[in-house]
Amino acid sequence: MNVYLIATCDTKGAEANFLGQELSRQGMNVRIVDVGCLGECTIDAHISRDEVFEAAGTSVLELTQQNNRALAVDAAARGVRAIVLQAFVAGELDGVISLGGGAGTMIGTSAMRALPLGVPKVMISTMAAGQVRPYVGDKDILMLNSVVDISGLNRISRPILRNGAGAMAGMVRVRQESNATPDEGADRPLIAASMFGVTTPCVEAARTILEEAGYEVLVFHATGIGGQTMEALIHEGLLAGVLDITTTELADEHVGGTLSAGPQRLRGAASKGVPQVVSVGATDMVNFAARDTVPAVFGERQLYTHNEQVTLMRTTPTECSAIGRMIGERVAESTGPAAILLPGRGVSALDAEGQPFDDPLARKQLFEAVQSNRGSVPCSIIDAHINDPDFARAAAQALLSLI
């Protein structure tokens, strides 16, 4: 069971050595990769920094002469990413663990993001208690908060490093055991679906229908990274179809909320020719964190406190028109089978009769913009709320007819 341990072995040598010993004690064959540059390596590394920077197309000498930390960090990330990926392809890597601060976390997670889902990945980091999206991306990286800085061994750092080693060893063993047992349903074709709390009844009902038809459904939470991950899987060619019920991330992209999935959202299935059914779930809202984080420019807007950490803002008719145009235009680019379904009685649990975001004019603007920009893609308005069983059934059956 081969575990690659990535560390700057000049400044974090003692900590890397301790972590390596703990991994060995757990039965792991440890390969320490030194990604340091400016100081001297203080331990015996299995893969030297010279090899790392050579894999990045440069050298330690060149980077030392440049004396530019940013360039060194970037080169280390490129080099270790190439080494780790090569080891995985050769069947010589079962997991990756790393430890570090800002630079070390960037280097370590860069290598981890190059690996497929399911390969154990643990990052012990001073950054783990903050915004980790830039480090995790769309991969299954376990971020373990180091609590204290990774600078020497002490009564706090030792048990945390030990726990990190235990987590890695446990994941590697579980993965090996599971690989020895056929995964139930592994032969079923995959469908991806997008969901939010306010569209859950729809997606859950549709998922049941699709599973009964012989498909395995992967549900992605439309929180920005969820949409990015779904798009990445589409591009990897893993999906037989997409049930894109919840396109709320486009509202955040357009208005400036916190859950944008970026400009490639709703483009993957269109470009790859994957059958897709698209709706407008939760486009009635833009997401922010706690209420006091909502930008002052939105101070007079209609806000809804979902919980103490999530504040929702109702999209205006004008914004809905722009969002509808984005949806229509992106689906119109489809090179494979596609259809659009619009829920006539509301696009989320909050956009229903008697609910805070009920706004017939906004829905009208949204629907008209979708219809005007959809090209030749079929578009139907279903006389139901998005969470009504009739709408879920129509969406699932529409996708089955396209696959």
pLDDT of residue 66: 84
d(CA 99, CA 6): 7
Tokens 């929180």 belong to: 223
Would the CATH topology of 2-179 be identical to that of 190-402? Answer: yes
261: tokens are 């999935």
Fold of 2-179: Rossmann fold (3.40.50)
Q: What is the pLDDT of residue 40?
A: 84
DSSP for 201-231, please give it: HHHHHHHHHHHHTT-EEEEEE-SSHHHHHHH
Cβ-defined contacts of 170-179 (< 8 Å, 24+): 171/95, 171/120, 171/122, 171/142, 172/1, 172/3, 172/28, 172/94, 172/95, 172/120, 173/1, 175/94, 175/95, 175/118, 175/119, 175/120, 176/1, 176/94
357 contacts 284 by C-beta, under 8 angstroms: yes
- The bridge status of strand 310-314 relative to strand 303-307 is antiparallel
Rg (CA), the chain: 24
Residues of the chain with pLDDT under 70: 180-186
pLDDT score, position 320: 98
Which pLDDT belongs to residue 182? 61
Residue 286 CB coordination number (10 Å): 29
What the block records as the tokens of 88 is 């995985």
Q: Which CATH architecture has domain 190-402?
A: 3-Layer(aba) Sandwich (3.40)
Query: How many Å apart are CA 184 and CA 175, to the nearest integer?
Result: 15
- The pLDDT value recorded for residue 184 is 60
pLDDT digits (tens, 9 = 90+) for 123-168: 999 999 888 888 998 899 999 999 988 888 899 999 999 999 999 9
- The per-residue pLDDT for 349 is 95
- At how many degrees (to 10) do helices 317-332 and 360-372 cross? 30
* 272 Ramachandran zone, left/alpha/beta (phi>0; psi -120 to 50): alpha
Query: What pLDDT score does 185 carry?
Result: 56
- Please write the tens of the pLDDT for every residue from 93-104: 999 999 999 889
Indicate whether this model's pTM tops 0.85: no
Domain boundaries, the chain: 2-179, 190-402
Nearest to 284 by CA among 257, 264, 261: 257
